[in-house]
Amino acid sequence: MISKENKDFIDSLVDYYISESESYRQIAENFVPEVESVPDTAFGIITGCVYSGFLQAYQNQQQAPSLEDIREFNQIIKNRAPLIKKAILDPASIQNDKKELDDKPNQDLTEKKS
């Protein structure tokens, strides 16, 4: 089972790459016509980077991920895949979602103060 620390790290990596999805889409566009799908290529680049970070985290801890850890990692990515794809296809929508989330805690605090 992946430790909470490593799960949090994976989540932060996914969040980072989602926030930078436009850059990875541009990288994928550099490979047209060799690639048929820019969004799918960008998705592959992002998930590959997250997987590399996952492996690096284990290496830094002088461990190797078990088969169960790799399966759990794959499930985490599958769960986050729709958000990754959304960020690639419509980066502005992710910025709007993020802004709403950033504003929401402030609204909650404002409501509690009243």
Residues of the chain with pLDDT under 70: 95-114
User: Do 53 and 73 contact (CB within 8 A), yes or no?
Assistant: no
Domain boundaries, the chain: 4-113
Q: What does the pLDDT read at residue 112?
A: 38
Pull the structure tokens for residue 58. Answer: 């284990």
Q: What does the pLDDT read at residue 108?
A: 41
Q: What does the pLDDT read at residue 107?
A: 40
Pull the structure tokens for residue 3. Answer: 């430790």
Q: What does the pLDDT read at residue 99?
A: 55
Pull the structure tokens for residue 17. Answer: 């790459």
